[in-house]
Structure 1
C-alpha cells in the first residue's frame, strides 16, 4: 500500500491485477463505469465478457448490487463493486472454473485494497486541489489590495474574510528565496482557513524567486528596539539561517495603498543584498511628484494623458503595469500572450504619439500616471499646460530631490548609470560606449541599486526616478 500510494504517477493497478492472476489463476479487469470500460486488466483478459455483462455492470456501478456471480459461455465470472459512492468501479474476475474459497477471499481482499488505493489517490488530488485553490484565493485578495480595492477583496471572500482585511494598516515583506522553497514556506505556515494568521503569503506570479507577504502593521520593526513577532519574525529567522535569502520590508500603509507598499518593499529588497543580515527596511524618501508644483504638474499631466480618454480602460491599465515591469512579466501576471500585451501598449502609444520603448518617454508617462492617481484632476480640463516637464524639473525643490537621490552614488557608478540610460537601458550598448565589459556594467548597476535603495534590474521600478534625477542634474549643469 505504501509503495503504490507513494507513486508519483498514481498506483499501478495493472501490477496489482497481475499479482492477483498469479495467485488465483483467473483473469481480472477493473471496470470504471457501467458501459464496460476497463481501466486496467490482466494480459489475455477476455474482453467480450464485458459486453455481455453491461446490464449487470450498470446495476453494480449504480449501487444496486455489491457482489454478483454469473456464467458467460464457458467462463465463470465473479464481480465485486468497490467503494461506497457511485458510480462505483467493479472488479471482474473470469476463469474456466468456479474459484476456491481462498481465491474468492483473495479477490475480495484485492478489491478492498484497490478501493483504499483509489481513495488515497482521490484524497491526494483533493489536497493538491485545495492548496491550488487557496493560493488562487490569496492571490485574488492580494491583487484586489494592490489595485487599491480592499472592499472588493472583502466581497470576494464573503464567509471567510482574512484577518488582514480587518486591519487599519499593512506592511509588505518581499522575500527572495529559491523558487522551490517559497511553496514550502507558504504551505508550512498556512492555517486551516488557507491564510497565514493575520496575513497572506503569496507566490509572486512574475518573479519565480519572490514570496510576497502582507501582514498587519501593528509594530514598528525599524524603530529603535522595535521587534517583529509572529510570521514577520519567522521571515527574519529564515533569512538569517539561509545565505541565499534576502528580505525587503516596506513602511506601514493603509489597506488601499498596498501597491505603494509593494514598491517600497521592492526597493528595500534591492538594497538588502548589501545590507547586514540581507534585510533592509524602507526608509521614506520624498517622491518626485510630491515636490513638483501641484497646479502646474497637474495641468501638464492632464494634457499629456488626455488622449487616453478615448482609449479603452483595459489598454490603459495594461500599459500602466508595463511601466513597472517587462511586458513578458505583465503577460504572465494577467494570463495573456505577450503579443496581446504589446497590442494594448501599441494602442496607447498611438493615442499619445509616444514611443514607450524609450525609457525617457516611459518615465514621463509614468510620472503623469502617478500624478493622475495621487492628485485627482479638477476643473473641466486644460487646453495647453502653462509649464513643460523641463519647467517643472527646474524648480529648486526638484533639484534638491535629485541631489538627495543621487548623493549616495560614486562618480564611476553615476557615469555608468548615465551611459545606461543614454543607451535606453541596454547594457551591451552602454558597455560599448564606455569601453568596458557588459559584466562590469551589471556589477556597477547592482552596486548602484544597493546605494540608492532602488530596484533597477529586477522589476525596474526605480528606473524612472533615476531618469528624472539625472535629467534634473543635467538641467542644473546646463
Structure 2
C-alpha cells in the first residue's frame, strides 16, 4: 500500500515535470516566475531567484519579503562565488533556505522564506525545483546561443551575397576569412531563384546548412525584399550541361523540392563568373517569371541575345562611354548603387546594402545630376541600363572625335536591332502588346495605363503577368526585364512609323 506522503511526492513531481514539458514545448526560454509560483502553491513558501552578488532579483513570488536580502548579503556573496552550495538561516521571524544553482560563477541563488522550517518532503521539492531551474536556464542559454548563431550565419551569408551582387568576389572572401565558403573558390556559378512559402524557405535554409553556416559548395540566402524568394548560389558543375544528364548536390535537391510541392516554382540562370552574380540574378528572375507555366514549374534562362550584343560594337561603346563619362568623377558608392537599381527596386537595394531608402535616393540624385538624366523616367533608366551593360561587357576606348558620334536613336535603327526587337516581341498577342505599350507610356504606372485603355488596374496586371510568362522576362517583381521591352517597343514603333 502506497502511503499518502509518497502519493503527494509523486503528484507534485509529476506537476513539476508537466511545467518543464510545457516550457520546453514553447521554445521561448524559461519562465522562472511560473516555476516559483508553482513551488509557492505546493508548499506555501515565498521564493526568489537572486542572480548575482549584488542581490539582483531576477524573479520572485508576489509576496516575497525582499527586505530579508539585505541581511543575507554576505551569505549571498559567498554562495554566488561558489564557496557554499546551500545554507539555512533565520531573518527575524522568517526561516530562510538558500541553494546555489549551477556550476559556474556567479551562481544564481534560490532563496526560500517561510514562517517555519519546511518539512523534509518540502526541502526535497525545493532542491528538485532548483535543479529544474538550472536545467531550464541552461536550455534557455543554449536556445539563445543557437538563435544568435543562426542570426550571425544568416547575416554573413547575406553579406557574401551582397558583395557578389556588387561584383566584388574578393571583398566576399575578405568577409569570410577563416571560413571561406567553397563557392568562392569556384570559377563559375549559377543562381537558382526558388519561390515558396516564407516558412518553408527558412526551414530549407536550416535543413541544408552545414556546420560552417554555409550549404556545402553553395549558398542559400533568404531574399530580404521578396519574402517568398530563396536565392541559391551553386557552383556551375551541379547543373548538367545538356538534358538527360544527372543533377548533383543541391541542384538536385532544389529540383526535387519543386517537383514534390505544387506551390513551388524556380528560375535558373545560365553559368556566370563570380563577379557577374548580378547578371545571374537577373536571368534567374526572368526564368522565374516563366516558371509557373512550365510543365515542371522550373524554367532555365535560355541564352537570348541581349540588345548590347546586336548593336554596332564600336559605335555603341563610344556612345556608352560618352554617356557614362561623368561617373568617372562620382563616388564609387553612388555608382555601385546606381548599377544595382538598374536590376532591382530601390527598396531592395536599400535592404541589400543595409541603407535607408532616403540614402539610396540621395545617391541616385547625385548620379542624375552628374548624367543629366531623370532616373524616375523608365526610358532614361533603360538608356542608362544599356550603357552600363555595354561598358561592363567590353569597355570602349576613348572615342575618336574626328568621326561623327552615334546617338542612341542611331544605334536602335540598325537592321540587327530591328531583328532583335521583332524576336523579342513576336510571342505577344495584340491585346497584350497594347497593354504593355500603355504601361510603358504611363511610366509603368498601372493605374494610369488602366485609365488610358479604359480597363481595370487588375486587368493591366493580369495582362502583364501573361506577358512575363510568354516573354520569359520579369516585369513586376524585380523588374529586370523592363528595359528590354522599352527598347523593343521603341524599335518596333520606329520601324512602323
TM-score (norm 1): 0.95
Structure 1 residue 12, shift from structure 2 partner? 2.6
Q: Is the 8 A contact 1:298 1:371 kept in 2?
A: yes
Q: Give the one of 56, 75, 96 matched to 2:94.
A: 75
Quick one: distance in 2 between partners of 1:382 and 1:126?
Answer: 64
- Determine whether 1:422 maps to 2:441: yes
Q: Give the one of 200, 216, 232 matched to 1:213.
A: 232
Q: How many residues align?
A: 478
**Coordinate RMSD, CA, aligned:** 2.0
Q: Which residue of 1 aligns with 2:174?
A: 155
Q: Is the 8 A contact 2:238 2:251 kept in 1?
A: no
Q: Give the one of 132, 135, 157 matched to 1:138.
A: 157
What SS class does the counterpart of residue 359 from structure 2 fall into? helix
Deviations for 1:132-190, whole angstroms, at most 9, x for unmatched residues?
11211222222222222223322222222222223222111110111111001111122
- Determine whether 1:27 maps to 2:46: yes
Q: Give the one of 355, 369, 383 matched to 2:374.
A: 355
Q: Which residue of 2 aligns with 1:282?
A: 301
Query: Gaps spanning 5+ residues in structure 2: where?
Result: 1-19
Q: Is the 8 A contact 2:326 2:371 kept in 1?
A: yes
What SS class does the counterpart of residue 191 from structure 1 fall into? coil
Please identify, of 104-113 and 146-155, the stretch whose mean Cα deviation from structure 2 is larger.
146-155
Q: How does 1:75-474 map to 2 (within 5 A)?
A: 75-221=94-240, 223-379=242-398, 386-474=405-493
What SS class does the counterpart of residue 340 from structure 1 fall into? helix
What SS class does the counterpart of residue 22 from structure 1 fall into? helix
Query: Gaps spanning 5+ residues in structure 1: where?
Result: none
Q: Is the 8 A contact 1:303 1:383 kept in 2?
A: no
Q: Is the 8 A contact 2:95 2:116 kept in 1?
A: yes
Quick one: distance in 1 between partners of 2:450 and 2:401?
Answer: 43
Relative to structure 1, the CA distance from residue 11 to residue 154 in structure 2 (aligned partners, 3 Å threshold; closer, same or farther) is same
Deviations for 1:418-460, whole angstroms, at most 9, x for unmatched residues?
1111111111111211222222211211111111111111100
Quick one: distance in 2 between partners of 1:84 and 1:293?
Answer: 76
Q: Give the one of 38, 63, 84 matched to 1:44.
A: 63
Please identify, of 157-166 and 274-283, the stretch whose mean Cα deviation from structure 2 is larger.
157-166
Quick one: distance in 1 between partners of 2:62 and 2:453?
Answer: 72
Quick one: distance in 1 between partners of 2:42 and 2:24?
Answer: 22
Q: Is the 8 A contact 1:299 1:382 kept in 2?
A: no
Structure 1 residue 246, shift from structure 2 partner? 0.5
Quick one: distance in 2 between partners of 1:92 and 1:210?
Answer: 51
Q: Is the 8 A contact 1:296 1:385 kept in 2?
A: no
Quick one: distance in 1 between partners of 2:147 and 2:163?
Answer: 24
Q: Is the 8 A contact 1:52 1:72 kept in 2?
A: yes
Quick one: distance in 2 between partners of 1:427 and 1:156?
Answer: 41
Structure 1 residue 220, shift from structure 2 partner? 4.7
Deviations for 1:216-254, whole angstroms, at most 9, x for unmatched residues?
211554623133123212212221222221111111222
Quick one: distance in 2 between partners of 1:74 and 1:43?
Answer: 19
Deviations for 1:325-379, whole angstroms, at most 9, x for unmatched residues?
2222222222222222222222222222221111001111111122222223434
Deviations for 1:16-60, whole angstroms, at most 9, x for unmatched residues?
112222333322100122211211111211101112222332332
Quick one: distance in 1 between partners of 2:140 and 2:404?
Answer: 66
Please identify, of 311-320 and 461-470, the stretch whose mean Cα deviation from structure 2 is larger.
311-320
Relative to structure 1, the CA distance from residue 462 to residue 298 in structure 2 (aligned partners, 3 Å threshold; closer, same or farther) is same
Q: Is the 8 A contact 2:239 2:248 kept in 1?
A: no
Q: Is the 8 A contact 1:363 1:464 kept in 2?
A: yes
